[in-house]
Amino acid sequence: MKHTLGTMRGRIGRRSIALIATAAAAALAFTGCSASNTSGSSNADLKGQTISYWLWDTNQQPAYQQCAADFTKKTGINVKISQYGWADYWTKLTTGFASGTAPDTFADHLNYFLQFEGQGQLLDITKQVKSANIDLAQYQPGLADLWVKDGKRYGLPKDFDTVGVFYNEDMIKAAGYTDAQMKTLEWNTNDGGSYEKLLAKLTIDKNGVHGDQPGFDKNNVAVYGLGLSSAAVDAVGQQGWAPYALSNDWNYGNKTPGTTKFNYGDSKFTGALTWWRSLIQKGYMEPLPQALSETDPSTGYLGGKYAMVTDGDWMNTTYLGQDKVPTKVAPTPVGPSGKRASVFNGLSDGIWSGTKHADAAFQWVKYLGSSDCQDVVASKAVVFPAIKTATAKAVEQFKAKGWDVSGFTVQVDDKTTKLLPIADHWSDVQSIMTAALQSYLSGKGTVDDIVKAGDQVNALYK
Amino acid sequence: MSALTPTRTASTSPATRIRRRPIPIGKMIAWAALLVVMLVSLFPFYWMLRTALSTNADLPTGAGNLLPVGLSISSFERVLGITQPTGTGGSTASLNFWLYLRNSIITSTLITAGQVFFSAMAAYAFARLRWPGREQAFFIFLTALMIPPIFITLPNFILIKNLGLLNTYAAIVLPYFFMTPFAIFFLRQFFLGISREVEESAMLDGAGHARIFFRLILPMSRTPILTLAMLTYITAWSDYFWPLLVGSDDNVRVLTVALGIFQAQTPQTGPDWSGLMAATLIAALPILILFLVIGRKVVENIGYSGIK
Amino acid sequence: MTTTLRPSPRTKPGNRSRPDKGSTPARKRSVRRPRTDLRAALIFITPAAVGFIAFFLVPAVLGIGYSFTDYRVFGPVNFVGLDNYAALFQDPLFWNALGVTLEYVVINIVVQTVLAVGVAVLMHRLTRSIVVRGIILLPYLVANVVVALVWFWIFDYSSGIANQVLAFFGVHPVSFFGSDVFAIPTIALVNVWRFMGYTALLIFAGLQTIPKEYYEAASLDGATENRMFWGITLPLLRPVLALVLVISVVGSFQIFDTVAVTTKGGPVNATRVIYYYIYELAFEKFKFGYASAISVVLLVILAAISLIQLRILRADKSDLG
């Protein structure tokens, strides 16, 4: 709980000192004391304790309620689950950290992980994980490492997601394609390959002319071959440009976690982007202003305005769980690298460093990261749990529901996934790249602007 | 002047204050304008109703349909806690509607009562009393308007927590209980218009400031005070962010916070549109009723009585 | 310093001094009134002052203090002097935010005030109906965030009713929130919808204070509606108009909810209004010290604008006839 008053520059009057003292006192009051809870109580002592757990995803809440019930039966520890919507979740969490009222455990996201770690709000569980002999190999490869910083571990993998292409079966059939063909599409920076051919065919203008026919009016399109999610125009581009750039022999940065140099200036990146933007210019993909003025491309898709939309498996319920538009999932197309690619993202559960129930909290986090709980999550078929055996169970549950999710899992099976960059100053990286990419996609920015933005990003780490 | 020519100003009802013309074209245009404004104000509410009575799955396909698509009242059932909210945006917990309604009523009433009363006292001091530094003090109070709420939220949250008041009615009510700059400003402008004579004659009769305030000023300012009370109530009712921060426990959770579950819960899915629209309509209903009841009184007491 | 709004029977119109001066000598001028009401004033102000100090002043002072540090909500607090202020003057995003906010405020305030005054006068002259008043006020009854969501839905490119109607008339669909030309005006108009009724109600309350006799007299003299509006209504509305303008302008500068729900500052930075920028800095980048500095600058700008408005409108005075 140290706080220093840094160096005082110049001559400071009494009033300024009073001001600083006030600020310091306030900071004292604000900064949650970083607890080093090594109470070392045995399991027996934990019975009857209650710990709090926060999450945001309502779709998964029933699964976790059940895990909590099972957990209480097993250990006697009660878990109080609270759910807050995404926007409110992080504000409440941060306010909780600042005021010492944060929950004992909570669902953690890579966007915020490094930030919280840097602020000392996450409990280091390296020792507990070791002494509990948790087998980290049971998780999908790469996921466990995401939650380690400077050799310390702050969470166990919970679930993962990949990206695929949801498509309108009727429109695909009308264009003369089969489901099997959808699994072998390719793209390249020259002519877009079979992928762009398909998009051209699927795009129809107001007069019924297809994108690959003469007389196609790209300014008056009725059905776009590919929808665009405005959320995908950012530094990650997970459900936007990433499947292309990542399959163009390119990766985000030098390493992850702990990226310190990004490759946004690389010609392989700009090459993929240029081709991606060309889809808009040719009229096959939804333009950016339209995407920004939509709540989500799924509404346009369900309204018959888009034939295909790239998105993650978290959207399964939205696309596969409706019965108006027959929908299937295809894997993202294979790129010039000879392979396809998808971002591999994952969530974990973290423990607040200021918790008063560190041992009970760890028991709960351990349970969440174990097959007992992840199998329950698998059985509800909402997300892909991180433990390999649980993933397989989930895939079967999806099949039983009638949903073919192989378009997502093939990336994991073929090991064509790439990890998200996890870096300091992430929010700044996002601001810079989002502005540059939005400008580029809208036709105003040039490739030079993107390269410049890349330099700006790397300057953050010098 | 006016008393001498009664025939010209025969009726003083507002409708005929406009000089009599052979064809009241001006009046027709005026009414047309007012009707347009009313229509624009109303349309989104119609749209909310239409969406509330629709089924979520049918919304994208039926985009151009002015009538509800997939007509059903299931959204209202979800809001009132009769059925469980479903996925696609909504939470899976069932809604204890009447409890949250009660909490909203309690907090809004407390806030309104305290704020109007204490602000009226302060406004009286700023408008009717004479003391050095009065205008400067008023301006300082006014600057509270311009402090970005972000400054205020975090420290206030910590203050409430240090007072041990988290998750109580007090936490939700306190920051607004004593004043808001708007309330003081509003009442001060109206108190400024009260004639001095009334006060002076009361003082001649030996009344102190307290008597003048309670027996004279307040009753005379019935209309502005009721108007302010109504606006304060509505503002307190619709407050979302502060009650979310300090009042999460079920027994103090207010309606707006509870109905937040119909907004987007995950970053990628959208809100439960029909549920959200139904929730909004239902949340606005008590306020509408309150307005109609109090508004009638305001209208009946039309004519701000600075001097009889 | 204060004057009555109604003509006192004993004074001539236009006399701004205390009405008793030079009038009927039968009455003592100042009764038992001490030269200053300071004690009474303090008692009357105390509750409000308590609330003000605890919940507004202290946080504000703390915030101003932070602006001289690199406070990051967690961790040590380092005094950095005027560094934050120097940085913000060179920050293109800060100037962008100011410019964007200014554009928004101008559109919003002009449209909203003109409409509100118009509607208030219409209500005043045409009808007593509670229903009309209720309908006009209706938009204010909906929470900010929900208003933004509803309009986002109405203006949704593919499934919103707005574009469906445009398509019906053969007009190309508009990206209301996605086009850098339309985004700010759209947000401005959404907020006009939200607040126009509330503002009209305030002005309407002020209209009640204008004595009927003025209108009757003027009407007798042959004044048109127009003349009466500009010659009687507007001048006598001044105290309330001052209130409305100050409140509206300050509130307008603080636009946040709509942006947070719909555009999140985009496209590129076309809607990154100052308050949204401050929020991003504080709650996403945790640069609380810098955010505080920008907030202080915003506070000073608003205070200056309000002071000017109050002076120009002479908000504490009122005309008599």
A101–B contact, CB cutoff 8 A: yes
Whether residues A137 and A180 share a domain: the answer is no
| pTM over cut 0.90 | no
Whether residues A369 and A312 share a domain: the answer is no
Question: Residue A95 domain-assigned?
Answer: yes
Please answer yes or no on whether B306 and C5 come within 8 Å at the CB atom: yes
Band (pLDDT 50/70/90 cuts) for residue C318 is low
Residues present in chain B in total: 308
Q: What is the mean pLDDT of chain A?
A: 87
Residue B291 has pLDDT above 90, yes or no: no
Q: Which of A368, A383, A409 is the last residue of a domain?
A: A409
When mean pLDDT is compared across A393-407, B76-90, B127-141, the lowest value belongs to B76-90
Q: Which residue has the higher pLDDT, A202 or C309?
A: A202
pLDDT tens column, A362-420: 999 999 999 999 999 999 988 899 999 999 999 999 999 999 999 999 999 999 999 98
Domain residue ranges in chain B:
25-72, 107-262+294-300
Whether residues A215 and A296 share a domain: the answer is yes
Question: Residue A224 domain-assigned?
Answer: yes
Q: Which residue has the higher pLDDT, C30 or B253?
A: B253
Please answer yes or no on whether C216 and B287 come within 8 Å at the CB atom: no
Q: Which residue has the higher pLDDT, A7 or A405?
A: A405
Q: Which residues of C touch B19 (CB under 8 A)?
A: 219, 224-225
Whether residues A324 and A368 share a domain: the answer is no
For strands A342-351 and A417-419, give the pairing. parallel
Residue C224 has pLDDT above 50, yes or no: yes
Question: Residue A181 domain-assigned?
Answer: yes
CATH number of the domain where residue A443 is located? 3.40.190.10
Whether residues A51 and A124 share a domain: the answer is yes
Residue A193 has pLDDT above 50, yes or no: yes
Of the candidates C61, C76, C177, which has its C-beta nearest A292's C-beta?
Answer: C177
Band (pLDDT 50/70/90 cuts) for residue B22 is low
Whether residues A356 and A329 share a domain: the answer is no
Residue numbers of the domain that contains A437: 163-344+420-459
- DSSP states of C64-87: HHHTTB---SSS---B-TTHHHHH
When mean pLDDT is compared across B59-63, C181-185, C289-293, the lowest value belongs to B59-63
Question: What residues have CB less than 8 Å from A5, skipping those under 6 apart?
Answer: A20, A24, C76, C77, C78, C79
- Report the C-alpha gap between A368 and A352 in whole angstroms: 16
Indicate the SS3 state at residue A152. strand
Please answer yes or no on whether B158 and A99 come within 8 Å at the CB atom: yes
Indicate the SS3 state at residue A222. strand
Whether residues A434 and A382 share a domain: the answer is no
Residue A20 has pLDDT above 60, yes or no: no
Whether residues A380 and A282 share a domain: the answer is no
Residue of chain C whose alpha carbon sits nearest to that of A117: C74
Whether residues A398 and A308 share a domain: the answer is no
In CATH, the number for domain B107-262+294-300 is 1.10.3720.10
Question: Residue A12 domain-assigned?
Answer: no
Q: How far is A300 from chain C (nearest CA, A)?
A: 5
Question: Residue A32 domain-assigned?
Answer: no
Which of B265, B272, B276 would you mutate first to test chain A, the one with the most A CBs within 10 A? Answer: B265
Q: Which of A389, A409, A429 is the last residue of a domain?
A: A409
Q: How far is B206 from chain A (nearest CA, A)?
A: 47
Whether residues A181 and A281 share a domain: the answer is yes
Q: Which residues of B touch C146 (CB under 8 A)?
A: 276, 280
pLDDT tens column, A289-311: 999 998 889 989 999 999 999 99
Q: What is the pLDDT of residue C228?
A: 83
Q: Which residues of C touch A9 (CB under 8 A)?
A: 79, 81
Tell me the H-state helices in B88-148.
97-127, 134-143
Residues B207/B210/B212/B213 CA torsion (nearest 10 deg):
180
Yes or no: say if A35 and A358 are a contact pair by the CB < 8 Å rule.
yes
Tell me the H-state helices in chain C.
38-52, 58-66, 83-89, 92-126, 130-137, 144-154, 161-168, 183-207, 212-220, 225-228, 234-236, 238-253, 257-261, 274-279, 288-313
Whether residues A64 and A137 share a domain: the answer is yes
A327–B contact, CB cutoff 8 A: no
Which of C11, C35, C50, C146 would you mutate first to test chain B, the one with the most B CBs within 10 A? Answer: C146
Residue B3 has pLDDT above 60, yes or no: no
C92–A contact, CB cutoff 8 A: no
Domains within chain C, CATH numbers bracketed? 83-313 (1.10.3720.10)
Q: What is the pLDDT of residue B146?
A: 83
Whether residues A172 and A78 share a domain: the answer is no
- Report the C-alpha gap between A157 and A368 in whole angstroms: 9
Question: Residue A6 domain-assigned?
Answer: no
Question: Residue A16 domain-assigned?
Answer: no
Residue C251 has pLDDT above 70, yes or no: yes
Give this complex's ipTM. Answer: 0.80
Phi-psi domain of B282 (left: phi exceeds 0; alpha: psi -120 through 50; beta: other): alpha
Measured CA distances, A136 to A125, A132, A391, A416, C8 (Å): 13, 11, 15, 21, 88
Residue C87 has pLDDT above 90, yes or no: yes
Band (pLDDT 50/70/90 cuts) for residue B173 is very high
Based on the structure, what is the number of domains in chain A? 2
Of the candidates C2, C73, C126, which has its C-beta nearest B127's C-beta?
Answer: C2
Residue of chain A whose alpha carbon sits nearest to that of C280: A427
Question: Residue A20 domain-assigned?
Answer: no
Band (pLDDT 50/70/90 cuts) for residue C5 is very low
Percentage with pLDDT > 90 across chain B: 27
Q: How far is C97 from chain A (nearest CA, A)?
A: 14
